[in-house]
Amino acid sequence: MAGAKEIRTKIGSVKNTQKITKAMEMVAASKMRRTQQRMAEAKPYAQKIRGVIGHLFQANPDYRHPFLEEREVKRVGYIVITSDRGLCGGLNVNVFRKLLADLRGWNEKGVETDLCLIGAKGVQFFRRLKVNVVGAASHLGEDPHLAELLGAIQVMLDAYSEGKVDRVFLVHNEFVNTMTQSPTIDTLLPVEPLDKDELTEYWDYIYEPDATELLDIVLMRYIESQVYRGTVENVACEMAAKMVAMKAATDNAGKMIDQLQLDYNKARQAAITQELSEIVSGAAAV
Amino acid sequence: MSTMHVDIVSAEGEIYSGEAEQVVAPARMGDVGIKPRHAALLTALRPGEVRVQLPNEGEELFFYVTGGILEVQPHVVTVLADSALHGDQLDEEAADKARQAAEAAMAGATEKSDIAEAQEQLIEARARFRAAQKLKGKR
């Protein structure tokens, strides 16, 4: 019966693991709903501010803000958003793969790159590689606040204003739906102006203090809101990916238990048969 | 009496949305009062109070903002409130912190692990507890 007993212990341990993955799946599912809501809440601000920028840009076509100007690219910056924790499938790996391909592309063109990492996984990953990391922020939790991101954003904005980097990208996961998250790389700076067709009639604001100063503030806030939205979206992706990964793990554990149960029954049956045959042969001998 | 639509939004979420008779906001150059059909205006806000007067019987709502932008169009007023304190010094401090975090992270072992963080919290909690006990003893 030794074989059967071992199998029984194994079944017990797999069952325990299954309970854990099941619990993690449910936790991720409930958190996902909350993070998705937060993602939706960040939308109106971004839209409104985008509208204001579009208008400012139309009304002052002659004013060139450095944030709007396309420069020759000698060095680029990336703000990379990753999750803090693992156990979420290929979420972070997909981001790294896409980013590394991009970095290689710049490298071949002789363009240098700076990275600013948000999230512990990114920090862990890029520590092993020879890359230039200028800023980092991690352990933001499931409810990231803009205040915690400001430092990382400021580093890149400073570098851009000083002319150290000529373009800034934002790398994060895009929430397509619960089953799909796709890594995306968006251009953060220079800010792409809106289409000219959108302005139907000409009117202008009264500015207080003046237009250029306001444009400065508005652009800063816009970029901050973009990074914040990216971070919140990435958290939603993390939860969705975790839920899917944990569901797969739970299903696999179930299959494993079925197989082990079958093996256990076979082993038990074999033991009984053996015992019987021993008794029968013993009786025959007497 | 005519009304206008007021939206108060921050990057982290919508704060208020509804009709109002008058809005008073702390603009950088002094408080501004906005009535319906105000000319289009764009102004920066300083930290302070945004007052929204509702249409029925002069009921007022108060919102505290740490700064932001006020956008006025004849029938729509939008307050784009900051969700974090800003200021040259504060921003620079935050940037320095991020740079240090990057250096620490790249140096390797110094990265804060969950255990290290928990231990730090434990030490702080102990110190607080001791301080509280001392205070108790004095009384």
Q: Is there a contact between B12 and A146 if contact means CB atoms under 8 Å apart?
A: yes
Q: Is there a contact between A146 and B29 if contact means CB atoms under 8 Å apart?
A: no
Count other Cβ atoms within 10 Å, centred on residue A2. 8
Q: Which residues in chain A show pLDDT less than 70?
A: 1-2, 60-62, 193-202
Q: Specify the pLDDT at position B109.
A: 47
The reply to whether A116 belongs to the active site is no
Catalytic residue among A88, A223, A235, A246: A88
Q: Specify the pLDDT at position A65.
A: 78
Name chain B contacts of A42, Cβ cutoff 8 Å. 11-13
Name chain A contacts of B106, Cβ cutoff 8 Å. 126-127, 133
Question: Taking the domains of chain B in order of start, what are their residue ranges?
Answer: 4-87, 91-136
How many residues does the structure list for chain B? 139
How many angstroms separate the CA of residue A61 from the nearest CA in chain B? 17
Q: What is the pLDDT of residues B65-115, one digit of tens each?
A: 888 999 998 889 999 998 766 666 667 777 788 777 777 777 764 445 556
The verdict on ipTM greater than 0.85 is no
User: Of residues B124 and B29, which shows the higher confidence score?
Assistant: B29
Closest partner CB to B80 (pick from A49, A124, A134): A49
Contacts of A6 (CB under 8 A, 6+ apart): none
Q: Specify the pLDDT at position A2.
A: 57
Class of domain B4-87: mainly beta
Q: Specify the pLDDT at position A129.
A: 84
The single residue listed with the structure tokens 């002659």 is: A62
Q: What is the pLDDT of residues B27-64, one digit of tens each?
A: 988 899 999 999 989 999 988 889 999 887 778 888 88
Q: What is the pLDDT of residues A183-204, one digit of tens each?
A: 999 998 888 766 555 555 667 7
Contacts of A101 (CB under 8 A, 6+ apart): none
Q: Is B139 exposed, middle or buried (0-12, 13-18, 19+ CB in 10 A)?
A: exposed
Helix axes A146-161, B88-107, angle to 10 degrees: 90
Please check the confidence at residue B124 and state whether its pLDDT lies above 80. Answer: no
Beta strands in chain A (DSSP E): 75-81, 112-118, 133-137, 167-175, 181-189, 206-208
Q: Specify the pLDDT at position A132.
A: 87
Q: Which residue of A has its CA nearest to B31?
A: A208
Q: Is there a contact between A44 and B71 if contact means CB atoms under 8 Å apart?
A: no
Q: Is there a contact between B42 and A56 if contact means CB atoms under 8 Å apart?
A: yes
Q: Specify the pLDDT at position A200.
A: 56
pTM score above 0.90: no
The single residue listed with the structure tokens 């006020």 is: B70
Q: Specify the pLDDT at position A172.
A: 94
